[in-house]
Amino acid sequence: MSKQVAVILAGCGVYDGSEINEVVLTLLALEEQGARYQCFAPNIEQAHVLDHLSSEEQSQTRNVLQEAARIVRGNVKDIAELKAADFDAMIMTGGFGVAKNLSSFAFKGQDFDILPCISKAMKAFHSAGKIAGYMCIAPVLLPKVFEGVKCTIGNDVDVAGAITALGGQHVECSVDGIVVDDQYNIVTTPAYMLAENLKQAKSGIDKLVAHICL
C-alpha cells in the first residue's frame, strides 16, 4: 500500500515563500517512491513580497495559500484541513517563507514564534507516531517544538547556532546526506542551504523521501 504524505508549503518563491525547486524535487521523489501526497499551506497573507529579480520589497500583498497553488497546479489545501490521521508522514520544504510566513525566525532570530497551525501539525504527526521530514531552513523550527531534537541545516554557522541555543542538537551534514532523529522520528537534509544546483539538491531530497517511505 502506497504511503500518504502531507507536504507543507509556505508560498511561492525562495525569498518570500517556498523554494520551488525543493517542492518539485520532493514531489517527484515521492512519485518515484510510489507515494501519494497532498500539499497544504496556511491561508494567510505573506509577511512581505519580494521581486525575485531585483530582491527589492514590493508594495503589494499576496496570500500564502494562493501563492503555493502556483507551484502545484492548484493542488493545495488550507492547512486547517490537515489531519495527521489521514497520512503516514509529513514533509516541510524550505525557502524563506518558512522563516517569514510559517514563523518569524527571519525577523526575530532565536526569539521567533511559529504559526500555531504549523506547530499544531508538527506536534500532531509526532503524537501519532508518524515520521516527518524537514529540509533547507525548515529544521530551525524543530527545537522550538521538540526538546533536544537532532537535526541539520548543513553547516550555516548562524542558523546552526540558533538551533543549538534553542536546545537542539545540530549535526553538520553534506548536501547529499540526511540526519535522522530516532527519538522524534524526524529526518532532515540541507537541500538549498548547501545545494548549488538541482542535481545536488536532488541527492539529499531523494534520500530524505526514501527514508520517509521506508
Q: Contact at 8 Å (CB) between 137 and 170?
A: no
**Marked catalytic residue, from 136, 151, 173, 213:** 136
Task: Say how many Å lie between the first and final Cα of the chain, rounded.
Answer: 12
Report the half-sphere exposure of 173 (CA within 13 A, side-chain side).
Answer: 32
The cell for 2 is 502506497
Residue type for position 180: V
Q: Who's near 1: CB < 8 A, 6+ residues apart?
A: none
CA–CA distance from 86 to each of 36, 89, 94, 209 (Å)? 12, 9, 23, 18
Q: Where are the beta strands (DSSP E) in 106-189?
A: 131-135, 150-151, 169-170, 179-181, 186-189
Residues facing residue 131 across a β-bridge:
89
CA–CA distance from 89 to each of 2, 47, 102, 126 (Å)? 11, 28, 19, 10
| 39 counts as catalytic | no
* Active-site amino acid positions: 136
